[in-house]
Amino acid sequence: QRDRVTGNVTLEAKKLPVEGRDVVIFDDIISSGGTMAKAVKMARENGARKVYAACVHPLLVGNAEEKILGSGAEAIVGTDCVPSKVSIVSVAPLIAEALKKQW
């Protein structure tokens, strides 16, 4: 949960049913990487075998990539909406299909 005034994010520790499983954590935007790093760490602490971070908009400001990988993520995957070195999923086919349906 993000505080609207300070911007600080708090994640409530929960027992997650991920022990021995591969996990993909999705978010719309990865900016500083703090929220994703916390989520990855939580999944790892709950016994996830592998954890992957995925997002639509990989801003990856500053040391975000290192922060996420350092928290235990195997890899970071993003779309090409915001070009970055993790932008491996193209949204062009989705946009093209939407345009075909519209016109």
CATH number at residue 33: 3.40.50.2020
Mean pLDDT across 56-75: 98
Evaluate whether residue 70 is within a structural domain.
Answer: yes
Evaluate whether residue 84 is within a structural domain.
Answer: yes
Q: Structurally, how many domains does the chain consist of?
A: 1
Determine the structural domain holding residue 36 and report its residue range. 22-102
pTM for this predicted structure: 0.86
Burial of residue 51 (number of CB atoms within 10 Å: 0-12, 13-18, 19+): buried
Evaluate whether residue 16 is within a structural domain.
Answer: no
| Residue 34 pLDDT > 90 | yes
